[in-house]
């Protein structure tokens, strides 16, 4: 009986330890922290919800073509602690921000809040803090 209990205890500990590995992805898996791109464009949508907030904006590339970018941000809880609200960024705002781009080469990136974020030429609140999601 003691052996069965020990095996169940070991299995339980192993199961609990392994769930944290799968609980959350790291931003470095999807985005390249060694590269940064600063973009200016017009906001089309700001999604302020869990598990991550997103800002979508249109940026004109070097060829003059409009490219739709998506920036992944922290959770609303983390952003609120930094002074953000659901209306800090609105559709139609001119936005300048720095992203660590997608490793896949798509127009996506994780927003680097360690760099200034400008909305309509003014720096918004809460630009300091972690880039971890």
Q: What are the extents of the domains in the chain?
A: 27-123
Q: What is the pLDDT of residues 59-107, one digit of tens each?
A: 999 999 999 999 999 999 999 998 899 999 999 999 999 999 999 999 9
| Residue 73 to residue 35: CA distance in whole angstroms | 17
115 CB-contact burial (10 Å; exposed 0-12 / middle 13-18 / buried 19+): middle
**What Rg do the C-alpha atoms of the chain give, in angstroms?**
20
Q: Please say if the pLDDT value at position 132 is more than 60.
A: no
Task: Answer for the pair 113, 74: CB distance below 8 angstroms, yes or no.
Answer: yes
Question: 35 by DSSP, 3-state: which?
Answer: coil
CA-nearest of 126, 38, 48 to 91 is 48
* Domain 27-123, second-level architecture: Beta Barrel (2.40)
One DSSP character per residue, 23-55 reads: H---HHHHB-TT--EEEEEEEEEEE--SS--EE
Predicted pLDDT of residue 14: 45
pTM, entire model: 0.74
Task: Answer for the pair 116, 110: CB distance below 8 angstroms, yes or no.
Answer: no
């Amino acid at each position: 009986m003691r052996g069965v209990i020990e095996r169940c205890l070991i299995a339980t500990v192993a199961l609990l330890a392994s769930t944290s590995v799968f609980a959350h992805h790291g931003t470095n898996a999807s985005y390249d922290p060694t590269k940064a791109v600063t973009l200016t464009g017009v906001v089309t949508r700001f999604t302020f919800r869990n598990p991550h907030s997103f800002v979508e904006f249109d940026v004109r590339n070097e060829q003059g073509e409009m490219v739709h970018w998506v920036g992944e941000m922290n959770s609303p809880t983390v952003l609120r602690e930094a002074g953000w609200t659901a209306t800090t960024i609105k559709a139609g705002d001119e936005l300048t921000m720095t992203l660590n781009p997608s490793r896949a080469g798509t127009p996506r990136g994780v927003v680097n809040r360690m760099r200034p974020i400008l909305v309509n030429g003014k720096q918004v609140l809460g630009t300091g803090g972690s880039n971890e999601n």
